[in-house]
Amino acid sequence: LLGTALARPLIAKSQVEVARETGCDALSHGATGKGNDQVRFELAYRALAPELKVVAPWREWDLRSRTDCMAYAEKFGIPVSATVKKPYSIDRNLLHNSFEGGILEDPWRAPEESMFITTASPEEAPDT
């Protein structure tokens, strides 16, 4: 899917615009240290705002799992959509929906019904 790959530079561009409008001296993203998203965000940041510092919590702080991130968010009162029962992230934009992490790492486990945001499961889809 290219939905995420195409969205990251657009998100970064908006972040840069807001950072400049509000006088911020840094940008941050929540991409893990193992995937391409960190590269997509940071290349866009460097191209658009090389003067701004980049903060990458997954790489720079002691956050090694989604559970660590949820605990950090709870400690500091940061609202997040992930929970212990649903420890995955959702990337939704005009181009696509994608889910990653937690229970989804098991390819033998079917997605939950609640994950069909803009579609329906094959069992619930109309038989046309």
Whether 6 contacts 42, CB under 8 Å: no
pLDDT tens for the chain, residues 1 to 128: 677 888 899 999 999 999 999 999 999 998 887 778 899 999 999 999 999 999 998 888 888 887 888 889 899 999 887 777 776 777 787 777 777 776 777 888 888 887 888 888 888 888 88
Tell me, what's the pLDDT at 44? Answer: 97
Q: And the tokens for 38?
A: 């960190």
By the 10 Å C-beta count (0-12 exposed, 13-18 middle, 19+ buried), 29 is classed as buried
User: What are the angstrom distances between the C-alpha of 4 and each of 7, 10, 38, 71, 84?
Assistant: 5, 10, 12, 26, 24
Q: Which two tokens stand for residue 12?
A: 């970064």
Which residue has tokens 């908006």? 14
CATH class belonging to 3-115? alpha beta
pTM for this prediction:
0.74
Q: What is the model's pLDDT at position 16?
A: 98
82 φψ region: left (φ > 0), alpha (ψ -120 to 50), beta (else): beta
Helix axes 3-22, 37-48, angle to 10 degrees: 40
